[in-house]
Amino acid sequence: MTISEMQEEIIRIKKEKDICILAHAYQNHEILEVADYVGDSYGLAVNASKDSKKTVLMCGVRFMAETCKIISPEKNVILVSSEAGCPMAEQLDTDFLAAIKEDYPDYTTVCYINTTAELKTQCDVCVTSSAALKIVSQLENDKILFIPDPNLGNWIEKQLPEKTFAFYKRGGCPTHFRLTADEVKKAKEAHPDALVLVHPECRPEVVELADFVGSTTGIMNYAKKSDKKEFIIGTENSIVSHLQYDCPDKLFFALSKDCVCHNMRLITLGDVYTAVKGLTGEEITLSDEVITGAKRCIDKMLELGG
Ligand code: SF4
């Protein structure tokens, strides 16, 4: 079977079985081509909730499938690969968070959407990288415990000097953490006309050297709308390739060849094929208690972030 034959089969089966395929933007291009929706985690969950299909197949990592289930508990949500977790989302459990919160009893606990459903039940509000600033700025409490990513937290803190922040300092995304300021300097030397676009999950010294800092969607929109022709991309390297497809008249360079999320890249077109046939994949189940608790945290995000 060729790639295009497998893609045609996936599309045929998903229509026959009334399956909605979601693909996070960090998936390979051949997977994006068979998806009903492509985007970042929260956008995917919202699109799935508005879609009439009863089964949702998540080509992404576990917390993204959980977010779909929280928003659409009536749907069957299938994670294509049960091994696709997110090291950042899973680095804190509820006991660990409870211990951290003991040190900050009068702080509002804000979690990144990249957390487990269970952890969200113990937080006051969650944020996406694109809406983080807007949401945190509206919180009445000026003391913020931000988990699990201190880099995203640092980026928000710099823009909200009126608030006091506490972080779990050992947290963060191992993929974005690999990018260094030296690599930014070398990439700029190699491509002096290029703008540097990075994700706020990068270290502060990398963010400091960037021309634009934003979510994956923010980076893609910026590059597409910009009059500039060359860009150095400081987020998962799949975005370099997607942008090259979207903007063939521009040039995109990876900030580092190491900015690869091995969990996201676990998923192959073959996995999507076997999952859509019902042979593989894991159905996400969450207790009513977890769904209710995590939804409260997400609803607060919607109330403040729109
Ligand atoms: S890129 Fe980072 S935050 Fe995203 S799934 Fe991979 S490890 Fe998790």
CATH code for position 213: 3.40.50.10800
Are 269 and 236 members of one domain?
no
pLDDT at 258: 93
Q: By C-alpha distance, which of 199, 195, 114 is closest to 151?
A: 199
User: Parallel, antiparallel, or unpaired for β 125-127 and 108-112?
Assistant: parallel
- Whether the CB-CB separation of 237 and 254 falls below 8 Å is answered with yes
Atom of ligand 1 nearest to the CA of 87: 7
Q: By C-alpha distance, which of 79, 49, 75, 76 is closest to 64?
A: 79
Answer yes or no: is 66 within a domain. yes
List, in sequence order, the alpha helices (H) in 40-180.
Answer: 41-50, 62-71, 94-103, 117-120, 132-138, 150-159, 174-177
Q: How far is the CA of 171 from the centre of ligand 1 (A)?
A: 12
Answer yes or no: is 123 within a domain. yes
Are 157 and 295 members of one domain?
yes
pLDDT at 130: 87
Number of domains, the chain? 3
Question: pTM, whole model, 2 decimals?
Answer: 0.94
Q: How is residue 163 written in tokens?
A: 């608030």
Buried b / exposed e along 265-288 (16+ C-beta atoms within 10 A): bebbbebbbebbeeebbbebebee
Answer yes or no: is 212 within a domain. yes
Answer yes or no: is 135 within a domain. yes
Are 108 and 252 members of one domain?
no
Beta carbon of 261 within 6 Å of any ligand 1 atom: yes
Answer yes or no: is 252 within a domain. yes
| pLDDT under 50: residue ranges of the chain | none
Answer yes or no: is 89 within a domain. no
Are 8 and 52 members of one domain?
yes
Q: How is residue 193 written in tokens?
A: 């006309």
Answer yes or no: is 62 within a domain. yes
Are 280 and 300 members of one domain?
no
Reduce the DSSP state of residue 28 to 3 states and report it: coil
Are 70 and 10 members of one domain?
yes
Q: How far is the CA of 173 from the centre of ligand 1 (A)?
A: 6
pLDDT at 41: 86
pLDDT at 153: 95
pLDDT at 235: 97
pLDDT at 19: 98
Answer yes or no: is 205 within a domain. yes
pLDDT at 171: 83
Are 148 and 195 members of one domain?
no
Beta carbon of 129 within 6 Å of any ligand 1 atom: no
Q: Alpha carbon of 41 to those of 64, 113, 193, 266, 297: distances in Å?
A: 6, 8, 32, 17, 15
Q: How far is the CA of 269 from the centre of ligand 1 (A)?
A: 20
pLDDT at 169: 82
Q: With pLDDT > 90 as the criterion, what percentage of the chain qualifies?
A: 94
Domain limits at 190? 179-258
pLDDT at 170: 84
Q: How is residue 4 written in tokens?
A: 């295009």
pLDDT at 249: 97
Nearest CA to ligand 1 atom 8: 86
Beta carbon of 152 within 6 Å of any ligand 1 atom: no
Are 242 and 189 members of one domain?
yes
Q: How far is the CA of 170 from the centre of ligand 1 (A)?
A: 15
